[in-house]
Chain A
């Protein structure tokens, strides 16, 4: 007898008035749900509120949201639970972990649950830029939830000081360099007191780099996730541009720029423009003591940015009833109204165009117009780099990028090495 039954039994003895409620609770499908927290804000409280709301609408399901740490910790916990046989029926994991989860046979596609026309309409309602990371081999393995993209933030005061129009962000790569040159300040000794631009390169440089490669017209990996194209001339050109920002133009700090402290550098006015996630919107809005703007990333050959963030995944080892209940919850929380509310509360991008048509979203955007930029960029957004053995293949690129940025390898050589390593790993998957 497990604890739940025991409690139910005790409660049943407690009084006849409570009985109907108990009977319902006992037949309820219990559903555990792992989720990570990757941005600031009271995410756990929000999720708990959603769970309570869902249970009210669906008394037959008992939803147990479990905060599982960072994205990395969450996938470690989910996969370990999967291997020991009792995984959560539903989890929010990185969209890029799709191939890893498929290879581990840890998830089932959503297609089996899409039955009615209404279901089909729902599936088609998401931004295609997000679905690229959620579908492969003609099947849908993930549903976009906490998704983000890379945007440019700029300090309007510093633009004014430098004689630039504070309402006009750079639109092209050339303008970006030109503006950054005007925005870089040096003291008499030649030390830089204010940098023009910062593109963080610690931890996961590939994600921000993917903005540059997309703008250079290159695609880093195929949609089957078994071939990378790191040594493409466009990729090398993108890396050369990034390296030049610090080594040739000297408008970007040398070496590795820390992801975590970049927003702070921006608040301290040590940098005038930064590239970072839309997930930082709420953070910047709360902490920047100056007017700031948010813009789509400047275009190279074309505009472009990667998407990022987390998807819902259904566990393969859960029972059919649990999967059905989990699917119901996913549908429930991605309705336009709730997607809009989630976006406004967290700064994540609304996952469907319909979310932006809701009253709640219109009100939020009217009050905070910077929030609309992420949506505007989605039309040119591409899937975040994702392959089989994702973390290993991505690490090959990260190492190459950091080698080039710290000056130990030339961009061409760094990308060739990264491609060779990725090729070695992925050969087995073709």
Chain B
């Protein structure tokens, strides 16, 4: 056997374990869901049969699906830019030589290490009417009592804030690492040239952070569709579906209603959505990203 062929086989063998896991737990379920979305839900007496696009038609006519989509859109719009901006701000802040910066860094990172269920329970207390933390603070200023999670106007914002709080610290770590990789000579040169702090950030730091921003952005988008644990604890999708996110609805349809075919259909929509976003990000944004 030639050396080249041996190397190829060697390479594939090294890839095999990871590939097998990926195919078994990611690719195959995705393909299976896609196939299943064209069949009816199997029942004890009625096995699954091919029904073409009926599940998709049902989905288009389902008001809760549209509600979940729009909720998710607002949730994404609320969490992605805010958590990234906040992460950047915190990273720049704790990157400077300030007193007690280890402590501040740790404080910012704490929400990330807490499990989401625990976070949700903490925030449940913050939002509790009358004696919750938020209520006690607003009460000092004489504001009226608000039922944050129990009103359709505020519930979605309330769970969005929790997600931002949870995520910003995580993204900060990436920014912090990237900031520390920027050579200090650039900062010194800028200082000699008399550039302001803002110009230095805008012209030097921010462009150099672009690869990190892209990475963080992808993560933020994925999380916007993936983070639903707190919905289970805080609102269970209520009031009247005001906080039903797409993934939460998929779980409800799949394991609450046992309508597995319809759940598969919804899953396909989620997959398509995420694939589209990833495509845009990798294909388009990456070309505009400046690498060192």
Q: Which residues of A contact B (CB under 8 A)?
A: 72, 76, 79, 100, 103-106, 189, 191-193, 201-203, 253-258, 260-261, 264-265, 268, 270, 389, 391-392, 395, 398-400, 402-403, 405-406, 408
Cβ-defined contact, B240 with A406, below 8 A: yes
Cβ-defined contact, A253 with B129, below 8 A: yes
A98-B150 Cα distance, complex, nearest whole Å? 31
Residue of B nearest to A398 (CB): B238
Among B68-76, B111-119, B141-149, B169-177, the one that faces the other chain is B141-149
Residue-wise, chain B 28-67 has the 8 Å CB interface mask toward A (1 for contact) of 0000000000000001110000000000000000000000
Q: Which 5 A-B pairs have the closest CB atoms?
A: A256-B150, A255-B150, A105-B44, A255-B147, A402-B239
Cβ-defined contact, B151 with A100, below 8 A: no
Q: Which residues of B contact A (CB under 8 A)?
A: 43-45, 124, 128-131, 139, 142, 144-145, 147, 149-152, 235-236, 238-242, 252, 255-259
A103-B42 Cα distance, complex, nearest whole Å? 11
- On chain A, the residues within 8 Å of B144 by CB distance are 191
- On chain B, the residues within 8 Å of A399 by CB distance are 240-241
Interface centre among A100, A104, A202 (most CB of B within 10 A): A202
Shortest CB distance B278–A (Å): 30
Cβ-defined contact, A408 with B131, below 8 A: no
Residue of A nearest to B259 (CB): A392
A402-B43 Cα distance, complex, nearest whole Å? 31
A202-B151 Cα distance, complex, nearest whole Å? 11
Within 8 Å by CB of A406, from B45, B124, B239, lies: B239
Cβ-defined contact, B238 with A257, below 8 A: no
Cβ-defined contact, A258 with B128, below 8 A: yes
Shortest CB distance A371–B (Å): 29
Cβ-defined contact, A261 with B128, below 8 A: yes
- On chain A, the residues within 8 Å of B258 by CB distance are 79, 100, 104
A189-B235 Cα distance, complex, nearest whole Å? 30
Cβ-defined contact, B147 with A265, below 8 A: no
Residue of A nearest to B142 (CB): A189
A202-B252 Cα distance, complex, nearest whole Å? 16
Known: A191-B145, A260-B124, A391-B256. A203 touches B238 (CB 8 A): yes
A402-B257 Cα distance, complex, nearest whole Å? 20
Known: A256-B239, A258-B124. A391 touches B147 (CB 8 A): no
- On chain A, the residues within 8 Å of B151 by CB distance are 254-256, 406
A392-B149 Cα distance, complex, nearest whole Å? 23
Known: A202-B238, A255-B150, A405-B239. A270 touches B131 (CB 8 A): yes
Shortest CB distance A183–B (Å): 15
Pairs A–B under 8 Å by Cβ, sample size 25: A72-B255, A72-B256, A106-B44, A192-B130, A193-B130, A202-B235, A202-B236, A202-B238, A256-B149, A256-B150, A256-B238, A257-B150, A261-B128, A265-B130, A391-B257, A392-B257, A392-B259, A395-B256, A399-B241, A402-B238, A402-B240, A403-B239, A406-B151, A406-B239, A408-B152
A234-B110 Cα distance, complex, nearest whole Å? 52
Within 8 Å by CB of B150, from A191, A192, A398, A406, lies: A406
Shortest CB distance B81–A (Å): 28
Residue of A nearest to B235 (CB): A202
- On chain B, the residues within 8 Å of A405 by CB distance are 239
13 new A-B contacts, CB < 8 A, other than A103-B43, A191-B139, A398-B238, are A76-B255, A79-B258, A100-B258, A103-B44, A104-B44, A104-B258, A191-B145, A253-B130, A254-B151, A258-B149, A258-B150, A270-B130, A406-B242
Shortest CB distance A56–B (Å): 37
A104-B256 Cα distance, complex, nearest whole Å? 13
- On chain B, the residues within 8 Å of A76 by CB distance are 255
Residue of A nearest to B238 (CB): A402
